[in-house]
Amino acid sequence: MIKTTDELTPQELITILQARTAVFVVEQNCPYQEVDEADRSALHVCIEEKGKLQAYARILAAEETIHFGRVLVVKEYRGQQLGRKIVSETLKEIDARYPNRLVVISAQAHLADFYQSFGFEKNSEIYLEDEIPHIEMILKKEKNR
């Protein structure tokens, strides 16, 4: 399922925000404003089975670049390669909607190798974002194929 925020039903939106809060605030013990202004214009990528959210990512379009983040796999569905699947689906959607645009992500530093396996390259030193080590990574479109 791929929808804009306005296309989501209220129940779908609550499910997404509940999952994001569970992972990024509760599991990672990181109190921050998880729901932000970017959610108003985000594109939401979801993997579901039998009406249950399994994995999620959001895409944000900037003027010259595309960003995606909030990538998660719901705890009970981990260990099934859904992280790879949600990133692959997200990159396919970016290719379809935003051809030839540079993809820039702010990845949690411990996931740098995971994102490198998709062709991302480190583009910064490690920095703290909400007290969690992150690194900026870029993917040029020709590497996305």
* pLDDT tens-digit map of 89-141: 999 999 999 988 899 999 999 999 999 999 999 999 999 988 889 999 999 65
Report d(CA 16, CA 46) in Å as an integer. Answer: 9
Region 33-43: mean pLDDT is 90
Q: Can you give the CATH number for the domain in which 119 is found?
A: 3.40.630.30
Q: What number is the average pLDDT over the span 34-60?
A: 93
Question: For residue 145, is pLDDT > 50?
Answer: no
Number of domains in the chain: 1
- DSSP secondary structure code for residue 14 in this structure: H
| Model pTM score | 0.88
Mean pLDDT of the chain: 91
Domain encompassing residue 89: 2-144
- Look at residue 140 in the predicted model and tell me its pLDDT: 65
